[in-house]
Amino acid sequence: MKSILVTGGCGFIGSHTVLALLQAGFNVCVIDNLYNSSYESLKRVQKLAGKKTDFHQIDLRDKEKLKSLFDQSRFDAVVHFAGLKAVGESMEKPLLYYSNNVYGTINLCEVMKGAGVFDIVFSSSATVYGNPERSPISEDQRLGAVNPYGQTKLIIEEMLRDLHRSDPQWNTALLRYFNPVGAHKSGEIGEDPNGIPNNLMPFVSQVAVGKLDELKVFGNDYPTRDGTGIRDYIHVSDLANGHLKALKKLAENPGIVTYNLGTGKGATVLEVIHAFEQASNVKIPYKIAPRRPGDAAVTYADSAKAEKELGWKAERDLETMCRDAWNWQSKNPQGYDS
Ligand code: NAD
Ligand code: UFG
């Protein structure tokens, strides 16, 4: 049985992936500093799986603690989610983002190397395509970040490429997620953002549950079918499965590999609102607001490479994403504090 270390395993995508790993028979150890999550998510994951995980509250920047964990335990691979992800906050506090995301990952890789662990799956993002030239976006499209958060993802990708060049023992999967949404079908785990959500789906769910009054639709004058922005929303449980496939790939010693994880289909903001209304049977009040600076009109993935090389394909549609997001939000109106 393989042992996997999951960094950031109490967070949104991490918790769903830990559940998928446990259900697939892996031993899992989670580290998280709980900066943007709570241990409650992991408690619920263990209950759903009927299986325990190891948990250590460790900050990736604390190299001594990280090293002593690797001294005590043997891991076959690391799935690395831990990072800060709020674009706006990264523009206000760039050093926090470089320190947390880049320095944290440097520490992790140094400790892994010292312990002889060379397999890593890294949470990258469609943000590395900046304002993309065209969609669907394939992995070879030009890269460029338009904010410090995106810069940290680009820098880490480049660092992991350099690491592999310096020592081919490293096997690395760079997974570029598109727009992760939804929740586990049980409604026990889901997305629980701090404060007012920046992202569309949690904002819509909080309007539906009555926590927020009204959604602002950022721009209806984009060159799209209804004038609102198009994104590739992907169910978090499909994303979790992508990590299992990536781990399987790493066992074949592929060196460094990069995959887009998306559905390949774009939905407009208005389509998301209407799908959510159908799924929840709740009317979502919204008004049209100016465009949000920095937003692209259209981004969706070409995920053919992941399908061909990983045997992975997103299975859940927008209706399922909205239904599961609503199930989670209505059962847990205050998130994990409910
Ligand atoms: P999240 O905030 O829910 O989870 C990240 C977890 O990492 C949190 O539990 C947080 O407490 C922890 N963490 C942060 N810094 C840490 C540190 N220094 N040491 C230890 N733990 C730390 O976010 P998420 O949505 O689950 O995202 C997971 C990863 O996927 C992130 O790296 C994010 O950048 C990336 N990603 C997310 C999205 C998205 O829209 N959700 C899209 C693309 C990529
Ligand atoms: N939107 C609104 N109103 C809102 C929030 C969003 O109209 O209150 C619109 C946006 O303008 C955009 C779409 O909904 O057209 C999606 O916006 P999100 O903020 O949910 O997602 P983004 O595509 O802007 O960005 C997200 C993450 C990034 C990540 C990217 C790709 O925030 O960090 O997905 O993975 F890089």
Considering only CA atoms, which residue is closest to atom 8 of ligand 1? Answer: 11
pLDDT tens-place string over residues 317-331: 999 999 999 999 999
**Ligand 1 touching residue 57 (CB < 6 A):** no
Ligand nearest to the CA of 336: 1
**Ligand 1 touching residue 178 (CB < 6 A):** no
pLDDT at 269: 98
pLDDT tens-place string over residues 156-171: 999 999 999 999 999 9
Distance 8 CA to ligand 1 centre (A): 6
Q: Provide mean pLDDT across the span 4-25.
A: 98
Would you please indicate which residues are annotated as catalytic (active-site) residues? 149
**Ligand 2 touching residue 229 (CB < 6 A):** yes
Query: Which residues, in sequence order, are bridge partners of residue 231?
Result: 267
**Ligand 1 touching residue 125 (CB < 6 A):** yes
pLDDT at residue 12 greater than cutoff 80: yes
pLDDT at 264: 97
Considering only CA atoms, which residue is closest to atom 15 of ligand 2? Answer: 229
How many residues appear in the chain?
A: 338
If you search the block for the tokens 């074949």, which residue do you land on? 252
pLDDT tens-place string over residues 204-223: 999 999 999 999 999 999 99
Cβ within 8 Å of residue 71, ≥6 positions away: 115
Ligand nearest to the CA of 13: 1
Pick the atom of ligand 1 nearest to 61's CA. 18
pLDDT at residue 1 greater than cutoff 80: no
**Ligand 1 touching residue 123 (CB < 6 A):** yes
pLDDT at 133: 87
pLDDT tens-place string over residues 239-294: 999 999 999 999 999 999 999 999 999 999 999 999 999 999 999 999 999 999 88
Q: Global pTM?
A: 0.98
Note the maximum CA span of the chain. 57
Q: What's the Cα-to-Cα distance from 173 to each of 72, 164, 191, 294, rounded to whole Å? A: 25, 11, 24, 28
Q: How far apart are CA 322 and CA 182, in angstroms?
A: 6
Mutate to test the pocket of ligand 1, among 35, 238, 243 (most ligand atoms within 8 A of CB): 35
Q: How far apart are CA 273 and CA 321, in angstroms?
A: 12
pLDDT at 294: 86
CB 291 within 8 A of CB 227: no
The mean pLDDT value of the chain amounts to 97
Instruction: Assign 13 a pLDDT band (cuts: 50, 70, 90).
Output: very high
pLDDT tens-place string over residues 228-238: 999 999 999 99
Q: Provide mean pLDDT across the span 74-87.
A: 97
If you search the block for the tokens 């890593």, which residue do you land on? 120
Pick the atom of ligand 2 nearest to 180's CA. 35
pLDDT at 291: 96
pLDDT at 338: 77
Distance 82 CA to ligand 1 centre (A): 5
**Ligand 2 touching residue 266 (CB < 6 A):** no
Q: Provide mean pLDDT across the span 121-134.
A: 95
